[in-house]
Structure 1
């Protein structure tokens, strides 16, 4: 079984991204089970007008039909890092991760929990994701032939309690599709990902955006696959393309047996005993 991360220089128009992604999917190896992840903003990476044009109700629409068709055509499990989905009665959207099985069925979704409202010393400067998006409220761990997938998106990475909760729900692979800025990515991308892998003893699959985008956005790239020991299995520092790494279930199980961190965790019990939880 292979894990695959696709790195994209996303545009503000779905037809452009659609053509790029189709070409990258054509490069996938055949004849083996593949879990393929697209980055955050894989459908549209632009301003509110661009997002409004391509947002769809969850579960229906031509964009999702295309994504479903790719999963079925290539016989892959496809994790779409994020696309905008409509919220009834709201002027904002959800940033939603979608999971398709190899028959093209949409088997899970996750609405981004933590929104990127941050000032960064780059060409864009002020990021206010909450101007356009509303946060989600639910965690998602989904069964797959590769193990249980714990879903997250980009800025979620800075909140370790989320990933501990995903591990407690049985996650084996942490999904971190992202569009990290160049500044924050250079500083923190790799150490944060390695920490999430090591402390939760999970594989980490992190497909990223790379390069220059509309509105002065600059993203870091460095799509990466990490094993449960925090070791780098594959990395693509820059450019568009894809990386692959084998999933070693025996290594995952062995590490968890040798160092049963999840069973040793006591903080919740301490809080409960002290009436603080």
Structure 2
């Protein structure tokens, strides 16, 4: 794939998948009118539902999901690669997955990715989240080939685990995706610096569609969808939390150039950890 325009869709998903699908369609059509051939939506495009019991009545299997069906229809009609940043999918075993789907212009699924790292945190001011109480974590990183351009997957909290992105970059990914529903508190502190860091350290574009604003279920997300180039420069930003579309040109040659200037992917060396405090050495989550 040569130079193309990518769009990140910023949403404020509520509790109704049908209503969210309609909002998504409007924004996607706006993105395509701006020239985008790849369109990414945020984490939990289908619905943001905080109540654990309510999740079971709102979410369904992939083949019955209204957002997935609408995305397939739009991909075919508009001739685009449609990246559902994520939506909650009911698995065959009765558990929920926080799943990203990349849909080809013919409406078929090119790749899927289930979020690996669960957002289990206790923040200031009593804000607490336990994503693992509702969702089953994924176990596999994912990279997909788009006509010669490789794209790597991540979702929201995955952003804080650089080994995931390094693994995908070493597999050839020149574009890294981070659709998200970052909380306002963590977004204000870390969103921009983490996204730019992942781009710089991997010599890759980063596309991050975000949720923004006060949602029906009471949570508040940061917005500020971003597209960052391999040198860490912000190419496009929704500098607010309102539903909107941002578009930027993606030139794969820029990733090649950045990696040639600073070949840290090639220069990385194997190492072990030696401790002098008597504790056994252990490494967790390190990419080999």
- Fold shared by both chains (TM-score > 0.5): yes
**Residue in structure 2 matched with residue 271 of structure 1 by the alignment:** 272
Distance 2:166 2:140 in 1: 14
Match of 2:90 among 83, 86, 93: 86
Q: What per-residue deviation string (whole Å, max 9, x for no partner) do you get for residues 80-134 of structure 1?
A: 01111223334x3110001101111111100000000112235x72211111101
Indicate the SS of the match to 1:142: strand
Distance 2:191 2:52 in 1: 26
Give the superposition deviation at 1:59: 4.9
Distance 1:128 1:163 in 2: 23
Distance 2:77 2:198 in 1: 33
**Residue in structure 1 matched with residue 277 of structure 2 by the alignment:** none
Query: Does the alignment pair 1:260 with 2:263?
Result: yes
**Residue in structure 1 matched with residue 101 of structure 2 by the alignment:** 98
Distance 1:107 1:248 in 2: 21
Match of 1:116 among 119, 122, 126: 119
**Residue in structure 1 matched with residue 276 of structure 2 by the alignment:** none
**Residue in structure 1 matched with residue 59 of structure 2 by the alignment:** 55
Q: Counterparts of 1:31-46 in structure 2 under 5 Å?
A: 34-46=37-49
Q: Residues 72 and 108 of structure 2 are in contact (CA less than 8 Å); yes or no, is this contact kept in structure 1?
A: yes
Give the superposition deviation at 1:49: 4.3
**Residue in structure 1 matched with residue 179 of structure 2 by the alignment:** 177
> Gapped runs of 5+ residues in structure 1?
none
Query: Does the alignment pair 1:213 with 2:215?
Result: yes
Give the superposition deviation at 1:33: 5.8
State the number of aligned residues: 273
Q: What per-residue deviation string (whole Å, max 9, x for no partner) do you get for residues 129-175 of structure 1?
A: 11110100011000114711100000000011111111111111100
Pick closer, same or farther for the CA change 1:256–1:185 going to 2, 3 Å. Answer: same
Indicate the SS of the match to 2:165: helix
Indicate the SS of the match to 1:26: helix
Q: Residues 59 and 106 of structure 1 are in contact (CA less than 8 Å); yes or no, is this contact kept in structure 2?
A: no
Q: What per-residue deviation string (whole Å, max 9, x for no partner) do you get for residues 195-226 of structure 1?
A: 10000000000000000013320100000000
Distance 1:145 1:60 in 2: 29
Distance 1:89 1:258 in 2: 47
Indicate the SS of the match to 2:83: strand
Q: What per-residue deviation string (whole Å, max 9, x for no partner) do you get for residues 23-68 of structure 1?
A: 1122124595611100001011113344323433345544422221
